[in-house]
Structure formats: structure tokens, C-alpha cells
Structure 1
Amino acid sequence: MESYEQNRSARQRALNLVWTAAGEYGFEPDFLAFTQDGKPDFYMNSVIGYVRKWYGGEELSGLFDAVGLSLMRETLDGVLWIGLENCAYEREVRERPVLSELRLSCAEQFFDQQFSKSRQQWMAQNSLVYALQAARWNTVLGRAPGLVNPWERRLFNELSFSGNLNSRQLAEQAARVLRTYFRFDADRTVHSPLLKLKNALAAYASRALPSRVIRSEDLTFARDTSGNGIVTARRTGKKSLSGPADEAENLAYIENCFGLPMYGREDSSKIEQLLCTDRHEGMHLYFTDGEHPASASSDPLILRAVQGAQAQAAQNRLHYRDNRHFYQNSIRRLSSRIQNAMLVYPQPLKVRSRTGQLFPSEMWRAVYLNDERVFSDVFREERPDFSVDLMLDASASRLQSQEIIAAQAYVIAQSLRECRIPVQVFSFLSLRGYTVMRRFCGYSDSTDSVFDYFAAGWNRDGLALRGAGYLMSTSRAEKRILIVLTDASPNDDRKLPPAPGNGRPNGQLSGHLLSRDYSGDAGVEDTAEEVRRLRKSGTQVMAILNGSDGDTRAARKIYGNDFVRIEDIKQMAGAVGALLQKKIADLSG
């Protein structure tokens, strides 16, 4: 209740800022802006009001309506507001000179906070918006934009919308920029027959309602990667118009950005039929080893994503090399802790043999393969009969910690390998309705590819845990441990379905007749349910939270006491070692 009241109060204050700047009260703005801690952003909410004041015609509203139906709406919205901020400022500062001081203050805060605030859930393309924002605030502070990519420099120059434009001219220039740089045709989208029908039905439904109630969860409290408030549209629960062509485009985007699928189309379809049900109905699970298509895509957004991932991989490796002595010492310390735990977990390795105790489940090998090894014997050297899976949250909330997460994952994986414990490492993120499971190494592969880790998109943790369960099923070990590196903040742009109990038998999750955002309590509840499911199947689940990122309260709801927060990287070996010792002891209990 307290959170609800705080959000409602923050929303009302943001509305007052917009209304005051617009000189018009009572209208419902499509966008509001908030700071890192959820407080209204004074400058950007004022800009939203000035846009309404000077450019409140139907032309600009029509463009935003069209963008709202695009699969790239988050990126396009961000790009448009960078241009709109400039023209609104130029127009209003003539009457309100103090606005220049507010703008300078906003620019300074952007750079002051970019390394001290956590980065929240942004789509992969929004790294472009961040770069453009940084360029804008650099110019406000009298510095060079700092853009290296020629394509980005040209786009940024085009976004210097003049305050001398009227509403029609501004809408035309904005549409031209989107068409030129993103191949977005607003006119074709707005005038599609299907969209006309949708709008007509919506208008009819509105007339039947005596009033319209805005719920606090309809508002996305998003932040940019610097921690400053960003302009963000309210979630309405409406989905973009999509069909087979859009689905094919989404799949091609995922394949080109993250790699070819591990499984064929038929097997992938069976996996989705098995796992993408009830709360995750209509979603997709995509498994990949990161192998890219032979021919690279010419799409500029895909090229940027691939190049960004490659640059991050290089940065991850550089970070490890620069701190090699520290991390190698961490591997030695963690390996020692694991070996100590293994001393109280004696599990001789059972192998197939030509003598010993008859192994009934292997009799088929003698009949069909003439294999005499249908007996069970004990290998003299004791080895663990469990495997460990390491799952890394790769959503955009981890952008600021990518090098640290990659190094931590490598230290943990390599320590387990040195103790002869099979380990598999993979990451997860959600984008365009796909939860992408990127496997870096299987149980017998080198762990070096862990440094290919990079962050982008959202995180549908519950579905990712189902995917983890499927990947773990390939382990030959009898028992399993799953370690999740996370911030315990599930957040996806695709909502939970509107069904009583969300389709779960006996209503394990709270029943809701209306769809809910996959975030906050709903996301935590779903993730906790999947953790319970894994534990019920015999898998030990634990979590690691990094630094100041992450929600301890949510982590406790999801993982109970089986999580550890690493405030200082120097604590990693001790903290992770202690938790692993506990999990290994639980396996032998």
C-alpha cells in the first residue's frame, strides 16, 4: 500500500509539473519523466509541458501514435524526445531565460550520476539513445558531442530540431528522421485499415465509459543508463499489431543479434509448447551458443548490436587481464573452499563395467550393441556426483557491471572446474517477446567464452528459470546446483496474461482477472514460484547479488536464505565459498 501511495503521489507531482509548463490543466499526457529514485524530473516534465504548449497539434500526436505501434517504439520514443527537448528549449527560453540554468544543471547531473547509479531495464537499441543523450548534454556544457560513429553523428545533427518550427514542420522533420535512419513509415502505419478498425473500436469503448481510471502500475518508472530520469510512455496493455511477417522479423533480429538457435525449428516448437505455458503463454524461449550466421545482416541496428557485443567482450577480457593477479588468487581461494566442502561429501563415482553389480537399465546395450559393460562398479578416485549451472542475468540493468559479472562468472566456473565439478554457464535476457538463453560453455567445454557476456533488454526471470531447468536436464549427474547472478528485479515489457490464477491450477499465484505488468511483486511472485518448482525437482538453487544493485527484500522472497550479496569484490571467494559449502552439504543430507 505504501508503494502504491508513493507512486500515485509521484505521478500526481509529475502531472502538476507538466500542466504548469503547458499552461493547461486536466489533460492526460502520454509521457512523464522520473529520476533514478522515482521522483518527478523537474526539467524533463517541464519540457513535456512546453512541447504541449508550443506543438500540441494533431500532427505530433499522430506521429507518437504511430511510433507506439512499432516494434522499436522504445528506441524511437527516446530518439524523438532528444530532438523535442532541443526545440522546446529554444522556443521557451526566449520567454523564460532561467530555463538555461535548469538545462545546464540537468546536463551536469547526467554526467555526475552516470557511474554512481544503477542502470535499469532498457531494450538493446537504447544504448543508442544513451549515446545520443550524452552527446546532447555534452553540447549543452560546451563540449564536443563525443560521438565516434559517423552514422550516430549524422543522426545527432538531424535531431537539433529548431525552435522556429511550427507543429506541422516539426512533425514532418521528425518523421523524415525516423524514415531516413530507421526505415519507419508513419503514414503507412497510421493509415492501415487494421489500425483504423482498432481506433474505431477504442473510440466506441471510450464513449461507453463514464470515466477513465489511471492505475499507478500503468506508469513505467524507467531510468536511463546514467540513472537520470527518462521520458517514458505509460503501459496500457495494448500490443503492437503483429502477424507472421512481424514474427519472422523478430526471429531474424534475435538470430542475427544473439546467434543461431541450438535446436531445430521442430524441437524449438516442442520446447515452447512444454515451457511457454500459463503465465508465459505466447512468449518464446530461444537457446543459442552464440554462433552467428555466415552472412552478416546489413540492418544498422543489428550491426550496432553485434559490434557492441564484440566491444563488450573485448572490454571484459581487458578488465580480467588488468586484474589477473586478484582474480587468480580468488580462484585459488574459492577452489580451496570447495575442496574443503568435498571432504565431507564423499561420493565415489559409479561407472559401467564388465563386472560388479548388474545395472538393469543398461541391459539394452548388451542386446543391441553387444556391449558387455552392463555392470556397475565404483571408480577408485572419488568424484562428485553433482553438476553446477551458473545463470547470469544479462538484462540492461546489468550494463554498468558487465566486466565484473563476466569476471565473477569465470572465477566461479574455473574454480569448480579445478575441483573436477562439471559446470555449465549461460545468460538470459528478454527482447521482443523472446527470452534468450545464451550458453557460453557446456559441462565439458572451456570456460573462456564466459567473457563473451554482454547485457541488453529485459529479464523475464520465471521463464528463464524454466529454460535453465531444460538446459540442466542435459547433465549426466544425479544431483544439481543452480547459481543465479542477479539483481532480483524481474522486469519484462510483456505482461502476465489476464486469467484467474494466471492459468495455474489451484491458483498458486494470486488470481487476477486483468493483465499485470511483469515487474514488482508480480514478477517476484512468478520467479519465486519457479524457484520452488526447481527445488521440488531436487535442484539446489542459490543466488548472488552484486554490489549495491539488487533488491534484498525481493531476493529473500525468491531465494529464502540461499543468497549472498557481494558488496566488495574482495569478499567474493569467501561469500560464494560459504554458500556453496552449504549447498554441497545439503546435497549429502
Structure 2
Amino acid sequence: MELTHSLKKRATNMVWTAAGRYDFEPVYLFFHSNNEPSLYLNTLEGLAYRTMNPDILLPFLKGLDFGRKPEKFRSLAQLVLEQAVFSRECSRRSSLSALREEYARLHLTEFLPAGRYTELGWERQALIHWKRVLHMDLTDFSRRELSLADAMESIATLPDAELVRSAKAIFRKYYYYQPLDARKSETTKFVGAGLFLVILGQLFSGDLHIRLSDPDKNGFSPVFSRLYVMEKHLLSQTTAKEDHDYMLHTFGPCLFSDSQMALFEKTFCTGYHSRSLLWYAGATSPDLIFGAEQETQYRKNLQYYQKDKRYYERSIHQITEHLKQALEEQQEPDLVRVQSGHLNPGQVYRIPAMHDLSVFYREIIWPMPDFTVDLVLDASSSRCQEQESIAAQAYLITQSLLELQIPVQVTSFRSIRGYTILQLLKTYRETGTADGIFHFFTAGNNRDGLAFRAIRPLMEQYDTPHAKRIVLILTDALPSDSRRAASDHGLLRGKDYRDTLAIDDTREAIRQLRSEGICVAAIFWGGDYAVPSLRRIYGDSFIRIKQIQQFPDAVSGLLMRLLDQMHEQ
């Protein structure tokens, strides 16, 4: 159903009726997914005008529009206000509880399963909120998410001013949110306000935002570190230091020094990524933000593997044998002296002279690898339903390579808060175990083009005698990031990093790796939807797997094809 003027008018009348006045235009109107006006939410909107102070409420709601991800904070604020207005009016309006439960039942059908949404995303908070209305089970949600829901519910009975202050405090605690007036601090300066910001918003991708470096330890005035003119990031609710601290407390210390990182960002954060940042992370820890949730996912990954351990062990043996045979065919045999086999006439004198019967020889091939393998895992939240299977697949491949003493490294990547994070799950030096792979978890977006450019420092971090390299990427071939691609035209609006732009950027990153003699291929598990982008990015160097039974043969075939390509170079 099209959202017509008459539907908007019906929704407006619902708000006016509940408010008992008709001299204003509602800030929000609410509709179901079929564009029918929501009687319950529009009634609550009207009751909010009746029971709440607009001089306190409206600046708070308007301020949410100026920050990063305004839709998220608007949605969270609406959950807070829904609880507040309902709590104030339910005792006076007997029908309100029935309307609320009816809305909750209908509204829950419009959501995907909880696991399809990002941890602490507003969608999951909405699911908790409406499931609580219907007294439904909440075991699918983490302690931190339930704690956030409890906090938002607990402030519902506060007076308006205290309610707004408490909501801001909750958003800041759980999302590093800063209200608009708090952003004018010593670390963040804004140019322009009011109508000027609106005009700039029409011309550029966001408001002019000058971010300054933090004062040094001696308190000297800060110096310029960067000038940003971009969309949501520049109008950010967080400072550069807060974003850096978030990386530190979520993923642990960066593996490289500040000077090295400055060089890497200068090298790799160019073009579409000129306003992006990098973070190289190591192993997870329970002490980190979401550390408990990561440990829970680790146990899930491990249990998933253990459940079909026999199958995976057979698959490891199968891949190992195929690769061993391929390596033997590509290497020259060594002649080893033995006491039986092919006679070596030139050594017969050793029998009487030295009583040495080792005058025969045998050809023996020692399949010693002369290359390394980097396994790269897409860890964006779009793959949250496949975390356990991705970890199992990566472990299977890695363990097969370790059986042949092939140096293998495993890295996951994701993008959060403008940072592309590359996280080492296993290094080349770890030759005895690949268990770190089970620490794989998903979050954020995936800026594939930047991740594949920035993988080089991890490949070169350890001195290895192997000059040849193979990169295997477990991917859904759908690069997408919430941060726009930087524009090539200075102040002009950038484009979304997704679809054709992101695919072509990723393709260029793969081309650069191949131009350096690195063999690159992709492994995809799924349907036909990704085949065009896979072919566009990787050419014919990819495999698509539909069933788990295909996995060992498909991976073996791909690796043997890459070995042939590598030795032909």
C-alpha cells in the first residue's frame, strides 16, 4: 500500500485526538510495514504532547538527528518514551494495555530472528522491549543487552528533565554517545550552527567538522590533526580519542607502533578510503568490551566442530592426502642410498672395501612446501548466522595445511566506527595448534577493498623463507560499509561504499595483490546471488559450495589449481 496523503492525515488525526488539541504538526507519525497508521504508537505520540513538556522533549529528539546513526538513537529514544508515556497513562486509560499488547504481537512479526541483527543494535533492543510486553522468553539476548533494556525501562517514571538526562547517560554508557552541546569540547570543534548547518548539509556530505588532536601531557594547545568534511562520521557523537579508546578496549592493543600505523594508513587509506583508519588486533580477552560475548561465541564454535568432529577429521585427512600428492608431483626426488632397490654400479666397491651394503638407491620425495597460505575471513555482522560453520571451515583448511608443515596464518576483518580491523586468529609461527580460529566472531561491516590492501603488513610481520604466497578468502562477496567512500572531488558528497563501487574497489585490491605475484582465490558457501560479484572480483579463481559434503574435494581442487598457477609463475 502506498503511503498516501490520506494515510498521513489519518495518522495525524490519531495524534491530535490523543493530545486533545489540533494546533501543531506532529514530529513523528507511525506506520506499520504495510503503511497502515499505527493506532497505538500515534496515540502515544498524542499522549506525549499531553503529558510531557515539549520544551524539554523536542530539543532532545531534534538533537538526535545531528549525530552518527540518528535512526538508531531515535529508535532507542522512542522505546524510552513509549515506556514513559504508557507508565503515566495506563492507569487512566483501560484500553491502552490491550492496544499495546496487540501492537507488540503485530510488530514482532515485522522483525527477522534476533541473530540477524548486530549486537546492541536498536532492532534487538526493540525485540527485547516488545517481547517483555508479551512476557516472552529472552534467553537469546546477552547480559549486556538485557542490562541496557533494564536501564531504559527503569527511567520511565522520572520527570521529563531527569528522564532526558538519564537517557543521554544511558546512551553514552552503552554507545559512547555524546549530546550535541557536549561535543563542543577541547578535542572537537564545530564550525557553524543552526540554519548554516542545514545549508551545508544540502551542499556537502555533512557539516564542516574540524577535529583537533588532543592536548599533550604538558597541556599545550592542540594542533590540527585532520580536517574532515564528510557525512555521519564528521558529525560524529564521539571524538577521535574516544574512537581510538573504543578500538583499544574492544579489540585490545594494536599490533604495530604508532609510527608504523601512520605509515600503513598513508599507504593503504587512499582513494575511497582516505578518511578511514586501520587497527591490527591480536587474540581476544574476557577483559575487553563484549569479551564475555566473544567467549560465549568461542564455546559455540568449538561445540559446533566437536559435534561433527569425525567428519572434519576425515575431511582433513582427505585434503592432506590430495595436497601431499600434488606437492610430490611438483618436486624433484632425492636419491637416497639404501640396502635394496636400484643398483648403483659406482658404489659396488664399497661392499668388499667397507663392508657397506648400501650400494642401492631409491628415489624419495620430501614434500617440503616453498610457500605460505593466508586464510582471510569476512567477519562482518551479515555473516552472524554462519559464525560456527565459518570457524569450522577455516579450522579444517588450516589443520590440513599444518599436517604438511605449510605455514598458514588466519585473519578476520570487519569495519566499525570508521576503522577497518584486521584480527589475527593464528600466526605462521603457531605450528602446533589452530584452536585460535574458534575465537572467530562477527560484528560491524566489511570494507573489503581496504582490508585486502592492508593485509600485507600481517603477511610480512614474521620473517619466513618462503617467497611465494597464497591468499584464500572466505567471503559472501558483498562488500558494504556504513561509512561512505571518500569523494575524489574535495568537498563534494561521497558515495555509498556498496554494490558496484565496493565490488570494483575490491576487485582492484585483488588485482594489486596478484600483480605482486600473490595467488588469490575465494571460497563461498551459498546460492547463486553472489556469483556475478564473485566472478567480477576473483575471475574464475573461486569455488562455490552448496553442501558440506562438497567441501573437501572443492577445497583440494582449488588449492591444487593454485599450486599449479604458482609454480608456472
Alignment TM-score, normalising by the size of structure 1: 0.70
Q: Does 1:239 align with 2:211?
A: no
Uncovered stretches (5+) of structure 2, i.e. residues with no partner = 16-24, 206-229, 335-363
1:546 aligned partner: 525
Are the equivalent residues in 2 in contact too, given 1:18–1:49 (CA < 8 A)? no
Are the equivalent residues in 1 in contact too, given 2:104–2:134 (CA < 8 A)? no
Tell me the amino acid that sits aligned with residue 82 of structure 1. L
1:47-196 correspondence to structure 2 within 5 Å:
55=48, 59-68=56-65, 76-84=73-81, 100-108=101-109, 110=111, 113-114=113-114, 119=116, 122=118, 126-127=119-120, 129=122, 131-146=124-139, 152-153=145-146, 155-160=148-153, 171=164, 174-175=167-168, 177-178=170-171, 184=177, 186=179, 188-189=181-182, 194=189
| Structure 2 Cα separation of the partners of residues 93 and 18 of structure 1 | 27
- Once the two structures are TM-superposed, the CA of residue 107 in structure 1 deviates from its matched residue by 2.1
**Secondary structure of 2:421's aligned partner:** strand
**Secondary structure of 1:428's aligned partner:** strand
1:479 pairs with 461, 468, 472, which one?
Answer: 468
Q: Does 1:490 align with 2:479?
A: yes
Are the equivalent residues in 1 in contact too, given 2:526–2:545 (CA < 8 A)? yes
Offset from partner CA, 1:299-321 (integer Å, 9 cap, x none): xxx53x12111221122112212
| Structure 2 Cα separation of the partners of residues 110 and 308 of structure 1 | 22
| Structure 2 Cα separation of the partners of residues 241 and 161 of structure 1 | 30
1:4-403 correspondence to structure 2 within 5 Å:
13=3, 21-22=11-12, 40=33, 55=48, 59-68=56-65, 76-84=73-81, 100-108=101-109, 110=111, 113-114=113-114, 119=116, 122=118, 126-127=119-120, 129=122, 131-146=124-139, 152-153=145-146, 155-160=148-153, 171=164, 174-175=167-168, 177-178=170-171, 184=177, 186=179, 188-189=181-182, 194=189, 197-205=192-200, 237-241=231-235, 246-290=239-283, 296=287, 303=289, 305-346=290-331, 381-403=366-388
- Once the two structures are TM-superposed, the CA of residue 239 in structure 1 deviates from its matched residue by 2.9
| Structure 1 Cα separation of the partners of residues 176 and 472 of structure 2 | 42
2:416 pairs with 431, 443, 446, which one?
Answer: 431
Task: Indicate the larger mover: 72-81 or 548-557.
Answer: 72-81
Tell me: CA distance 1:478–1:542, structure 2 relative to 1, closer, same or farther (3 Å).
same
Offset from partner CA, 1:381-418 (integer Å, 9 cap, x none): 34222211100111111211111111111101111111
2:428 pairs with 435, 443, 467, which one?
Answer: 443
- Once the two structures are TM-superposed, the CA of residue 485 in structure 1 deviates from its matched residue by 0.9
Task: Indicate the larger mover: 183-192 or 334-343.
Answer: 183-192
Tell me the amino acid that sits aligned with residue 79 of structure 1. L
Tell me: CA distance 1:17–1:417, structure 2 relative to 1, closer, same or farther (3 Å).
farther
Higher relative contact order (Cα pairs below 8 Å, separated by 6+ residues): 1
1:413 pairs with 393, 398, 401, which one?
Answer: 398
Are the equivalent residues in 2 in contact too, given 1:43–1:103 (CA < 8 A)? no
| Structure 2 Cα separation of the partners of residues 479 and 136 of structure 1 | 54
Tell me the amino acid that sits aligned with residue 374 of structure 2. D
**Secondary structure of 2:319's aligned partner:** helix
1:523 aligned partner: 502
- Once the two structures are TM-superposed, the CA of residue 250 in structure 1 deviates from its matched residue by 1.6
- Once the two structures are TM-superposed, the CA of residue 254 in structure 1 deviates from its matched residue by 0.9
| Structure 2 Cα separation of the partners of residues 414 and 32 of structure 1 | 53
| Structure 2 Cα separation of the partners of residues 240 and 31 of structure 1 | 29
Tell me the amino acid that sits aligned with residue 390 of structure 1. L
**Secondary structure of 2:330's aligned partner:** coil
**Secondary structure of 1:290's aligned partner:** coil
Are the equivalent residues in 1 in contact too, given 2:415–2:446 (CA < 8 A)? yes
Are the equivalent residues in 2 in contact too, given 1:84–1:161 (CA < 8 A)? no
Q: Does 1:462 align with 2:463?
A: no
Are the equivalent residues in 2 in contact too, given 1:19–1:49 (CA < 8 A)? no
Are the equivalent residues in 2 in contact too, given 1:458–1:492 (CA < 8 A)? yes
- Once the two structures are TM-superposed, the CA of residue 532 in structure 1 deviates from its matched residue by 1.2
| Structure 2 Cα separation of the partners of residues 461 and 432 of structure 1 | 15
| Structure 2 Cα separation of the partners of residues 329 and 156 of structure 1 | 46
Are the equivalent residues in 2 in contact too, given 1:17–1:46 (CA < 8 A)? no
Offset from partner CA, 1:317-367 (integer Å, 9 cap, x none): 122122211211121122223223324432789xxxxxxxxxxxxxxxxxx
Are the equivalent residues in 2 in contact too, given 1:68–1:240 (CA < 8 A)? no
Tell me the amino acid that sits aligned with residue 105 of structure 1. L
Tell me the amino acid that sits aligned with residue 275 of structure 1. F
Offset from partner CA, 1:123-170 (integer Å, 9 cap, x none): xxx336455333224324432544887765454245449999998897
- Once the two structures are TM-superposed, the CA of residue 572 in structure 1 deviates from its matched residue by 1.4
| Structure 1 Cα separation of the partners of residues 500 and 26 of structure 2 | 27
Tell me: CA distance 1:139–1:333, structure 2 relative to 1, closer, same or farther (3 Å).
same
1:357 aligned partner: none
Tell me the amino acid that sits aligned with residue 457 of structure 1. G
Tell me: CA distance 1:204–1:187, structure 2 relative to 1, closer, same or farther (3 Å).
closer
- Once the two structures are TM-superposed, the CA of residue 432 in structure 1 deviates from its matched residue by 1.5
Tell me: CA distance 1:181–1:239, structure 2 relative to 1, closer, same or farther (3 Å).
closer
1:580 aligned partner: 559
Task: Indicate the larger mover: 90-99 or 534-543.
Answer: 90-99
Offset from partner CA, 1:416-452 (integer Å, 9 cap, x none): 1112222111111111221111112222313221111
2:349 aligned partner: none
| Structure 2 Cα separation of the partners of residues 172 and 289 of structure 1 | 37
Are the equivalent residues in 1 in contact too, given 2:316–2:396 (CA < 8 A)? yes
Tell me: CA distance 1:73–1:315, structure 2 relative to 1, closer, same or farther (3 Å).
farther
Identity %: 27
Tell me the amino acid that sits aligned with residue 479 of structure 1. K
- Of structures 1 and 2, the larger Rg is shown by 2
Are the equivalent residues in 1 in contact too, given 2:476–2:524 (CA < 8 A)? yes
2:355 aligned partner: none
**Secondary structure of 2:457's aligned partner:** helix
| Structure 2 Cα separation of the partners of residues 28 and 469 of structure 1 | 53
Are the equivalent residues in 2 in contact too, given 1:331–1:415 (CA < 8 A)? yes
| Structure 1 Cα separation of the partners of residues 409 and 173 of structure 2 | 44
Tell me: CA distance 1:166–1:494, structure 2 relative to 1, closer, same or farther (3 Å).
same
| Structure 1 Cα separation of the partners of residues 519 and 9 of structure 2 | 53
Offset from partner CA, 1:534-574 (integer Å, 9 cap, x none): 11211111111223597332222211222222222222112
Tell me: CA distance 1:467–1:155, structure 2 relative to 1, closer, same or farther (3 Å).
closer
| Structure 1 Cα separation of the partners of residues 505 and 42 of structure 2 | 38
Task: Indicate the larger mover: 247-256 or 379-388.
Answer: 379-388
2:550 pairs with 571, 582, 586, which one?
Answer: 571
Tell me: CA distance 1:278–1:190, structure 2 relative to 1, closer, same or farther (3 Å).
closer
Are the equivalent residues in 2 in contact too, given 1:93–1:99 (CA < 8 A)? no
Tell me: CA distance 1:587–1:313, structure 2 relative to 1, closer, same or farther (3 Å).
same
- Once the two structures are TM-superposed, the CA of residue 588 in structure 1 deviates from its matched residue by 2.2
- Once the two structures are TM-superposed, the CA of residue 282 in structure 1 deviates from its matched residue by 2.6
| Structure 2 Cα separation of the partners of residues 174 and 63 of structure 1 | 10
Uncovered stretches (5+) of structure 1, i.e. residues with no partner = 1-9, 35-39, 214-235, 297-301, 350-378, 503-511
CA RMSD of aligned residues (A): 4.4
1:493-504 correspondence to structure 2 within 5 Å:
493-500=482-489
Task: Indicate the larger mover: 53-62 or 524-533.
Answer: 53-62
Tell me the amino acid that sits aligned with residue 63 of structure 2. A
| Structure 2 Cα separation of the partners of residues 109 and 555 of structure 1 | 31
**Secondary structure of 1:476's aligned partner:** coil
Tell me the amino acid that sits aligned with residue 275 of structure 2. G
Are the equivalent residues in 2 in contact too, given 1:22–1:52 (CA < 8 A)? no
| Structure 1 Cα separation of the partners of residues 5 and 389 of structure 2 | 39
